[in-house]
Amino acid sequence: MLGLPAASAGLLLLVGVVAAGGLLLVVRRDLAARAAGRRAEFRRGLSLYLDLVVMSVEAGRGHAEALPVAARVGEGWVFAELQAAVASARVFGISTWRSLGEVGERLGVSELADLETSMSLAQDEGGRVRDSLVSRAQTMRDARAADIQARASRDTDAMRNTLVLMSLLAAAYVITARLLFLFTA
């Protein structure tokens, strides 16, 4: 095979297979990280969307009118997904909550499935829908704030660890210089 001894060809084949497997793992990890980032972005957008819906409901609109209006107000891919879900609910004759739940299942965002469940249960009573929306928006807002706090704490720890490492390296540099001076004198 290509003028190489059989052992070398086998070794090259083994290295190629291992490299391909390693690259596959790297690509898969990168894809999973990007998907997790997109889900987090969707959760943040959903939290903002629910805040807009609650403001619209508290301004006197019914939830059936507030959902599409709030979806049209926002920008970006998250609001485009939400707007498409609200529009498809009307086209297919299903509840808006069900349509949003399907988007949550498709994207792997459990908050939308939870929203569908709680809103479907509360849909019979108009006041309960409003209360459930307010509660869900507050919960998502709190989760968003906790996520921001956790990221800030993680970044602070990373900076602290870097500072400690830099301090240790500076101390090692000074100590090494002194030791070299002592041993060479």
Q: Report yes or no: 33 and 119 within 8 Å, Cβ to Cβ.
A: no
The pLDDT, as a whole number, for residue 125 is 60
pLDDT values of the chain reduced to their tens digit, one per residue, 185 residues: 455 566 677 788 888 899 999 999 999 999 999 998 999 999 889 988 988 888 888 888 887 888 888 888 888 999 999 999 999 988 888 888 888 888 888 988 888 888 887 777 766 665 577 777 788 888 888 888 888 899 899 999 989 999 999 999 999 999 998 888 888 87
The pLDDT, as a whole number, for residue 124 is 60
Termini Cα distance of the chain: 63
Q: What distance in Å separates the CA atoms of residue 52 and residue 68, rounded to the nearest whole number?
A: 11
Nearest one of 181, 41, 58, 14 to 108, comparing CA atoms: 41
Burial of 184: CB neighbours in 10 Å, binned 0-12, 13-18, 19+: exposed
Q: What distance in Å separates the CA atoms of residue 53 and residue 137, rounded to the nearest whole number?
A: 9
The pLDDT, as a whole number, for residue 180 is 87
Taking CA atoms, 3 is separated from 13, 14, 17, 107, 164, in Å, by 14, 18, 20, 51, 55
The pLDDT, as a whole number, for residue 34 is 93
Q: What distance in Å separates the CA atoms of residue 24 and residue 31, rounded to the nearest whole number?
A: 10
